[in-house]
């Protein structure tokens, strides 16, 4: 399934991409991240729900598969272009006004730490209409408020089609709240590549 609304050309290109994913995340990210253009100037910042004692497996795994460099986000680390960042286990990941990361151990949001909403909401405040938000498979409603924040600040919100999710609750909730595009999993990376090269969403 592909549902896309056309958006007008933006004066400024997209500056960052945020992704949120939960149950079924490894397969979903494997279908997207290696397909992102190695010429991408934007950072890609990801929250994957995980156990508090998880190690850096995702960073090591995707660093071998992707054209872009893959790192674990660190407190006060400046956000660099052309890099994929994963939130560390048991920390909320926030984007600061100076475009660096902050880590927090404040209470869980939607039973999760890191929480997708925390990343999406703080990134939306910083990147405004230069942000692309991507919500993927998951079994709760984390990410819905973040998607609302992205759209409220003029950014672009994309959700994986429920039919291609291992767990569809998360994307169904976001779609009900309102998104700009709903795409099957295999179409997401090409769509993002076109967005960042043209500065706008591809026509339907």
pLDDT in tens, 131-156: 999 999 999 999 999 999 999 999 99
The more confident residue out of 182 and 9 is 182
Q: What is the pLDDT of residues 83-95, one digit of tens each?
A: 999 999 999 999 9
Q: Map out the domains of the chain as residue ranges.
A: 19-197
What's the pTM?
0.92
- Of all residues in the chain, the percent with pLDDT exceeding 90 is 86
Q: What is the mean pLDDT of residues 146-172?
A: 97
Distance CA 147, CA 151 (A): 6
pLDDT of residue 181: 97
Which one, of 188, 179, 138, lies nearest residue 26 by Cα? 138
pLDDT of residue 4: 43
Q: Which residues of 80-95 are buried (b: 16+ CB within 10 A; e: fewer)?
A: eebbbbbbbbebbbbb
Catalytic residue positions, numbered: 22, 49, 142
CATH topology of domain 19-197: Rossmann fold (3.40.50)
H or E element, residue 157: strand 156-160
Which one, of 88, 11, 108, 104, lies nearest residue 45 by Cα? 88
Spatial contact of 42 and 69, defined as CB atoms under 8 Å apart: no
Confidence of residue 100 (pLDDT cuts 50, 70, 90): very high
Confidence of residue 12 (pLDDT cuts 50, 70, 90): very low
pLDDT of residue 6: 34
Q: What is the pLDDT of residues 56-71, one digit of tens each?
A: 999 999 999 999 999 9
Radius of gyration, CA atoms only, the chain = 15
pLDDT of residue 199: 75
């Amino acid at each position: 399934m592909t549902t896309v609304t056309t958006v007008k050309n933006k004066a400024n290109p997209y500056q960052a991409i945020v992704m949120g994913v939960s149950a079924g995340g490894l397969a979903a990210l494997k279908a997207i991240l290696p397909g992102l253009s190695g010429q991408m100037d934007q950072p890609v910042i990801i929250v994957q729900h995980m156990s508090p004692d998880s190690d850096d497996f995702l960073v090591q795994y995707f660093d071998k598969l992707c054209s872009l460099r893959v790192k674990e986000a660190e407190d006060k680390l400046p956000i660099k272009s052309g890099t994929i960042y994963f939130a560390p286990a048991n920390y909320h990941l926030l984007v600061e006004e100076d475009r660096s990361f902050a880590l927090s151990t404040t209470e869980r949001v939607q039973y999760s730490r890191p929480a997708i909403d925390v990343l999406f909401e703080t990134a939306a405040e910083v990147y405004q209409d230069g942000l692309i938000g991507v919500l993927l498979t998951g079994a709760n409603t984390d990410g819905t408020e973040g998607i609302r924040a992205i759209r409220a600040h003029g950014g672009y919100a994309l959700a994986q089609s429920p039919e291609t999710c291992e767990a569809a609750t998360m994307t169904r909730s976001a779609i009900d709240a309102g998104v700009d595009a709903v795409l099957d999993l295999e179409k997401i990376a090409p769509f993002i590549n076109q967005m960042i090269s043209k500065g706008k969403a591809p026509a339907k």
